[in-house]
Amino acid sequence: MSALHIKKGSTSHSAYNLRPNFSDVQERHTITILVENEPGVLARVIGLFSGRGYNIDSLTVAEVDHTGHLSRITIVTTGTPQVIEQIKAQLGRIVSVHEVTDLTVAGPFVERELAIVKVVGEGDKRVEAMRLAEIFRAKVVDTTLNSFIFELTGAPDKIDAFAEMMRPLGLTKIARTGVAALLRGN
Amino acid sequence: MTREMTGAKMVVQALKDQGVDTVFGYPGGAVLPIYDEIFLQNDIRHILVRHEQGAVHAAEGYARSTGKPGVVLVTSGPGATNAVTGLTDALLDSIPLVVLTGQVPTFMIGSDAFQEADTVGITRPCTKHNWLVKDTEKLAGTLHEAFHVATAGRPGPVLIDIPKDVQFATGTYHAPKPAASHYQPPVKGDLDAITELVAALETAKRPVFYTGGGVINSGPGASQLLRELVDATGIPVTSTLMGLGAYPASGKNWLGMLGMHGLYEANMAMHDCDLMINIGARFDDRITGRLDAFSPNSIKAHIDIDPSSINKVIRVDIPIVGDVGHVLEDILKIWKSRGRKVDSESIAKWQSQITEWRDVRCLAYTASEGTIKPQYALERLEALTKGHNRYITTEVGQHQMWAAQFLGFEDPNRWMTSGGLGTMGYGTPASIGVQVAHPDALVINVAGEASWLMNMQEMGTAVQYRLPVKQFILNNERLGMVRQWQELLHGERYSHSWSEALPDFVKLAEAFGAKGICVSDPKDLDDAIMEMINYDGPVIFDCLVEKHENCFPMIPSGKAHNEMLLGEAETQGVIQSGGAVLV
């Protein structure tokens, strides 16, 4: 047997390496999925992400075609290029999925999110909150003598920026819808 | 044709219209209306198993040996949860199954009713697709769609959960409509990519075909095309565990199985090739070993019907998404039209290198006069059953790998084994499913005693339906593969890898109403095997073998294809601590 010159013992990498030699650069992608609006379809998509260890940064879903019973799911995810490719291929494999589009690749695309933000404060802080809201084109949708609820639409980073500004001025609660997105042009 | 009928009747009618002749099942409260309809007809044969897991594995055996989808009928709650292992097994090995489960009535769903379980929720990750049908009007369409989804594209198990009130209610039945489904995976491969592959094939100096279960799943035509392509080009071919039989073991270009316990020549060819053509396999971790040392200098082409298989673990140069049969047909057509070119001179050199590797005789083992070596038992089984119309199933472990190494498969659909999931307890029920589909064939389940005990209750099924399945148990009184790993990786600490209370298998056979044969002397082995073959009925064959035999060759965890262990002498201190974390 020794005549075979089979190397014994460890090689240059003694630990088992099951990790593929793919790029480890993390990319953020916005993916839209057109699905049949049937019971459990969201669970299929979410289960795929949790079961295979993919990330969901944001997810929105609603029926967009009432006659065809089709819903559009918009998912923002982060992963290596290889993982992003797998996510799309795995989504495409789900029987209820009609179409998978990676807007980040197919792009340019429009991305919008809605947030409602409760800011509690009095005096100068209240005035400042109002002034900043105007700069961000946020609308006041509810007010009391010591609180506002602002409604704001925009790309996620605009909402992040607004929330950051409002924090010292009394931001107490924020609710965000997650991203909805479509390709530009036709 | 549309007709009014109850949901229960629709189930039976749809099965008939889909050409189903056999259902494996177990009745219970939530499927009684369907069982009533089964009672009232004679077209569909129902095989009563002893455990729902057995029903699913039997259906898998039926499906793998016929190419048709297997059908299972079980009740709600525990009936459905017992089916989960079989569903997962079928999902990982891409076996088409249609599993029907009963469910509590729609108005009781969510109330924690008796024998209620969230079956579609539990089985969502272990089916290709599943449905809960809450309206009898939608039942017929769903049943037909289920058969379509199970068999179209990459095959897999599907499940329909049918509440009891939906079975009782009346609705409109319609026959299957072709192309009614939006689910239509493409089968034709991209011609540019196929041409690129043909060009690579024409100039390759050290090419190898690496084939898998996808060739079997694509149908017997795909195996024929593979044989034609291999024989016309003279390119050597290896196969995964799942693909054995697609290319005949007696073929002159056959390298044997590859992978962790694959043949030396197959793994060396994979490591040193300059063109790897993966046909319907998926670069499973049992195949690749260490990824950063996997076939480092080859151009890799990958033919797979499932786009998610491509670039999942190994980056390939020529991806082709399509059905193996269709793609092979196009490869042959284009290759012939371009003048049937190969670099024959280089391939002849490559073949002679392979012959050198073959001469290592990697399956050699130390013979023994006093005890039966498991390899010897399989060699004798092979020699004495070769001419028969033979189907082999296996359990999981050492015996499974030895069976893959020592038995030769000349045709597809003759080898049923749990590859992806590695389900101990698969083989006995699978052998029953195979025998139901092929009543006159010689069906042998090559087993280890530990795996065999996991679903031994199905001997009752074999006896009831007079299915002459042969349970060929290589009994080492150990969990052989676990023991082997403990020896090599865990300092010979044999933690719980043996049983101190095994049954007397001959008496057990008699208790079931089957025949028991026990053999321990190599001199008696041939006669005993002949007695097993010639007995007209189910047999439990207790073959007492060497207890501490290890399965070689072996690519240890953390090693590359060219670092195989060929025998006991090479095992000392070979596996480093890093490898021990792996399965």
Distance CA B477, CA B445 (A): 18
Q: Which residues of B touch A22 (CB under 8 A)?
A: 315
Q: Does B121 touch chain A (CB under 8 A)?
A: yes
Per-residue confidence (pLDDT) for residue A16, from 0 to 100? 41
Percent of chain B topping pLDDT 70: 97
Query: Would the CB atoms of B315 and A95 count as touching at under 8 Å?
Result: no
Q: How confident is the model at residue B421 (pLDDT cuts 50, 70, 90)?
A: very high
CATH class assigned to A27-106: alpha beta
The mean pLDDT of chain A is: 88
Over 60: is that where the pLDDT of B272 sits?
A: yes
Over 80: is that where the pLDDT of A7 sits?
A: no
Told to judge if B515 belongs to the known catalytic residues of this protein, a careful annotator would answer no
What is the interface pTM, i.e. ipTM, of the complex? 0.89
The residues that bridge with A147 in the sheet, in sequence order, are A120, A144
Query: Would the CB atoms of A13 and B292 count as touching at under 8 Å?
Result: yes
Identical fold for domains A27-106 and A110-183, yes or no, is yes
Which residue matches tokens 């076939």? B295
Q: pLDDT digit string (tens) for A28-41?
A: 999 999 999 999 99
Per-residue confidence (pLDDT) for residue B539, from 0 to 100? 98
Chain B: residue whose CA lies nearest to A90: B308
Q: How far is B290 from chain A (nearest CA, A)?
A: 6
Per-residue confidence (pLDDT) for residue B364, from 0 to 100? 93
Q: Which residues of B touch A79 (CB under 8 A)?
A: none
Contacts of A139 (CB under 8 A, 6+ apart): A133, A150, A151, A152
Distance CA B401, CA B47 (A): 30
B213, exposed or middle or buried, with CB in 10 Å at 0-12, 13-18, 19+?
buried
Q: pLDDT digit string (tens) for B123-162?
A: 999 999 999 999 999 999 999 999 999 999 999 999 999 9
Distance CA B541, CA B475 (A): 9
Q: Which residues of B touch A44 (CB under 8 A)?
A: 124
CATH class assigned to A110-183: alpha beta
> Where do the structural domains in chain A lie, given as residue ranges?
27-106, 110-183
Per-residue confidence (pLDDT) for residue B581, from 0 to 100? 65
Q: pLDDT digit string (tens) for B443-483?
A: 999 999 999 999 999 999 999 999 999 999 999 999 999 99
Q: Please give the residue that has the higher pLDDT: either B273 or A12.
A: B273
Told to judge if B52 belongs to the known catalytic residues of this protein, a careful annotator would answer yes
Told to judge if B115 belongs to the known catalytic residues of this protein, a careful annotator would answer yes
Q: pLDDT digit string (tens) for A148-172?
A: 999 999 999 999 999 999 999 999 9
Q: pLDDT digit string (tens) for A52-102?
A: 999 999 999 999 999 999 999 999 999 999 999 999 999 999 999 999 999
Query: Would the CB atoms of B306 and A93 count as touching at under 8 Å?
Result: yes
Over 80: is that where the pLDDT of A2 sits?
A: no
Percent of chain B topping pLDDT 90: 91
Query: Beta strand pairing status for A97-102 and A27-36?
Result: antiparallel
Percent of chain A topping pLDDT 90: 84
Q: pLDDT digit string (tens) for B210-223?
A: 999 999 999 999 99
Q: How far is B132 from chain A (nearest CA, A)?
A: 9
Q: Which residues of A touch B294 (CB under 8 A)?
A: none
Told to judge if B164 belongs to the known catalytic residues of this protein, a careful annotator would answer yes
Query: Would the CB atoms of B308 and A89 count as touching at under 8 Å?
Result: yes
Q: pLDDT digit string (tens) for B541-554?
A: 999 999 999 999 99
Q: Please give the residue that has the higher pLDDT: either A185 or B466.
A: B466
Please give the average per-residue pLDDT across B483-495, as a whole number: 91
Per-residue confidence (pLDDT) for residue B558, from 0 to 100? 74
Over 70: is that where the pLDDT of B574 sits?
A: no
Query: Would the CB atoms of B574 and A6 count as touching at under 8 Å?
Result: no
Q: Where are the alpha helices (DSSP H) in chain A?
A: 41-51, 81-93, 103-106, 124-135, 156-166
Q: pLDDT digit string (tens) for B321-352?
A: 999 999 999 999 999 999 999 999 999 999 99
Per-residue confidence (pLDDT) for residue A15, from 0 to 100? 37
Distance set, CA B127 to CA B87, B179, B226, B329 (Å): 6, 22, 30, 30
Closest of B38, B42, B22 to residue B438, by C-alpha? B22
Contacts of B408 (CB under 8 A, 6+ apart): B248, B249, B250, B382, B386
Q: What are phi and psi of A123, to 5 degrees?
A: 65, -135
Residues of A with CB under 8 A from a CB of B: 1, 4, 6-11, 13-22, 39-40, 43-44, 47, 51, 82, 85-86, 89-90, 92-96, 98
> Which DSSP string do the residues of A33-86 spell out, in sequence order?
EEEE--TTHHHHHHHHHHHTT---SEEEEEEEETTTTEEEEEEEEEE-HHHHHH
Per-residue confidence (pLDDT) for residue A111, from 0 to 100? 93
Over 50: is that where the pLDDT of A13 sits?
A: no
Q: Does B106 touch chain A (CB under 8 A)?
A: no
Q: Which residues of B touch A21 (CB under 8 A)?
A: 291-292, 315
Told to judge if B382 belongs to the known catalytic residues of this protein, a careful annotator would answer no
Is residue B349 within 8 Å of B446, Cβ to Cβ?
no
Among B312, B366, B581, B583, most A C-beta atoms within 10 A, so best to mutate, is: B312
Distance set, CA A71 to CA A102, B116, B547 (Å): 16, 30, 59
Over 70: is that where the pLDDT of A9 sits?
A: no
Q: Please give the residue that has the higher pLDDT: either B549 or B568.
A: B549
Q: How far is B280 from chain A (nearest CA, A)?
A: 17
- Walk me through the domains of chain B, giving residue ranges and CATH numbers: 2-174 (3.40.50.970), 191-358 (3.40.50.1220), 374-551 (3.40.50.970)
Q: Cα-atom radius of gyration of chain B, to the nearest Å?
A: 24
Over 60: is that where the pLDDT of B84 sits?
A: yes
User: Cα dihedral angle (A41, A46, A47, A50), rounded to 10 degrees?
Assistant: 170
Distance CA B277, CA B299 (A): 8
User: Cα dihedral angle (B435, B82, B478, B407), rounded to 10 degrees?
Assistant: 30
Query: Would the CB atoms of B290 and A8 count as touching at under 8 Å?
Result: no
Is residue A58 within 8 Å of A75, Cβ to Cβ?
yes
Chain B: residue whose CA lies nearest to A8: B574
Over 80: is that where the pLDDT of A1 sits?
A: no
Over 90: is that where the pLDDT of B580 sits?
A: no
CB-nearest partner of A14 from B313, B315, B578: B578
Contacts of A19 (CB under 8 A, 6+ apart): B291
Q: How confident is the model at residue B582 (pLDDT cuts 50, 70, 90)?
A: low
Please tell me which residue in B18, B24, B52, B472 is annotated as part of the active site.
Answer: B52
Q: Which residues of B touch A96 (CB under 8 A)?
A: 129
Query: Would the CB atoms of B562 and A6 count as touching at under 8 Å?
Result: yes
Over 80: is that where the pLDDT of B56 sits?
A: yes
CB-nearest partner of B360 from A4, A51, A89: A4
Q: Please give the residue that has the higher pLDDT: either A185 or B233.
A: B233
CB atoms within 10 A of CB B357: 19
Over 90: is that where the pLDDT of B388 sits?
A: yes
Please tell me which residue in B10, B260, B401, B481 is annotated as part of the active site.
Answer: B481
Q: Which of residues 542-581 of B touch A (CB under 8 A)?
A: 557-560, 562-567, 569-570, 573-574, 576, 578-579, 581
Distance CA B283, CA A53 (A): 20
Over 90: is that where the pLDDT of B109 sits?
A: yes
Per-residue confidence (pLDDT) for residue B488, from 0 to 100? 87
Please give the average per-residue pLDDT across A112-140, as a whole number: 95
Q: Which residues of B touch A19 (CB under 8 A)?
A: 291
End-to-end Cα distance, chain A: 67
